[in-house]
Amino acid sequence: MSITPKENFLRLLRHDTPTWFGNPWDCFNLTPEGKPSVPDAVSLYVGRPAKGETGYTDRFGVVWDFPADQPGPTPSTDPARKVIRDIACWREYFDFPPLDGLPWDQALAMSGTLDRENKLVMCASPRGMFEFSHAMMGFEDALVNYIVEPESVAELLGAYADWKIAAAKEVIDVMRPDIILNHDDWGSKDKLFLPPAVWRVVVRPAYEKFYGYLKSRDVLIMHHCDCYAQDLATDMVELGIDIWQGPTPENDLRAVAEATRGRLFLLGGIDMSYIDFPDIPEDRVRDHIRRVIEQYAPLGCFLPCYTSIRPVHDRVMVIGNDEMARRGALYMGTHPGNHAGS
């Protein structure tokens, strides 16, 4: 008996006899641009620049640039555009955006008719705790403040977690998503931005509040973090994160799977710095994805995925999607029981 892509994905999470292995986004409702998170009123309201746009100001007062050759927007590095200039009195610099009068008509029109029976519905929560902190005060000031003013930063993040909970309530009540995607990069290519002890004291409590609320609403949690973060893998499980989206090859994914006993599902492994170029040879993309599947699929808690969610270059996505489908089918044909009962 055939099962839906949605059920296949959920079976993979449960280690319960899936019949498919491949590109995870095949199991999701997608936007016309191929993004796996559908529009919602909070994301539209907070705002984000269009690709190629510079000097865009969101509802928090953060100025963003989105270079056309990058996978996503970044806060302006102009010191004159910092929102918070003194963390000790952060309340004097901004107000959390009110959540009344959200543009739900626009969001629902953009989302269109969702196939809830066959595909998963995922909505994105505005940026995560660490990224919020450095967007508001600049990266260098944020790193210093985490060390010299941890109480003030923790207070800011706690208040932000309360706002994110109120925002998530609006989204869950209206959109009824299966999954909430939260975006928070905690490290660089090969190390964490903060010592784990500092992260656990300052950042983790805010996530305990926010992810605790999501769990109370019975939605799955996908945490995007396309960087080094394996030192926090067991924390992810303890926080209730179901899926780590974006683990890069610099992480020892076998060690992560062993440390978490398969309870943290991994969507990633594809090295975008190796394949995401406009003139990349096709065989380089295909060979890389083949190696990723051969190396990580036996973990039993893994699907190959672009760590940046989708490539910058459409040609890479077309080739990569095809190879994930082809190699995934071959893998499942020869390893039908690998993801069962892990």
Q: State pLDDT tens for residues 126-178.
A: 899 999 999 999 999 999 999 999 999 999 999 999 999 999 999 999 999 99
Q: How confident is the model at residue 332 (pLDDT cuts 50, 70, 90)?
A: confident
End-to-end CA distance of the chain: 23
Q: Is 180 helix (H, G, I), strand (E, B) or coil?
A: strand
- At residue 334, does pLDDT exceed 70? yes
Express each pLDDT in 230-280 by its tens digit. 999 999 999 999 999 999 999 999 999 999 999 999 999 999 999 999 999
Burial label for 35, CB within 10 Å (0-12, 13-18, 19+), is middle
Side by side, the strands of the sheet bearing 243-245 are: 122-125, 179-183, 220-224, 243-245, 265-270, 302-306
d(Cα 108, Cα 94) in Å, to the nearest integer? Answer: 29
The beta strands (E) that lie in the chain are given as 56-57, 63-65, 74-75, 122-125, 179-183, 220-224, 243-245, 265-270, 302-306
- At residue 300, does pLDDT exceed 90? yes
The whole-angstrom distance between residue 87's C-alpha and the CA centroid of its chain comes to 27
DSSP state of 60: T
Express each pLDDT in 70-128 by its tens digit. 888 999 989 999 999 999 999 999 999 999 999 999 999 999 999 999 999 999 998 99
Domains and CATH numbers, the chain: 5-334 (3.20.20.210)
- At residue 338, does pLDDT exceed 60? no
Q: How confident is the model at residue 341 (pLDDT cuts 50, 70, 90)?
A: very low
- At residue 209, does pLDDT exceed 80? yes
Q: What angle do CA 306, 247, 256 make, to 5 degrees?
A: 145
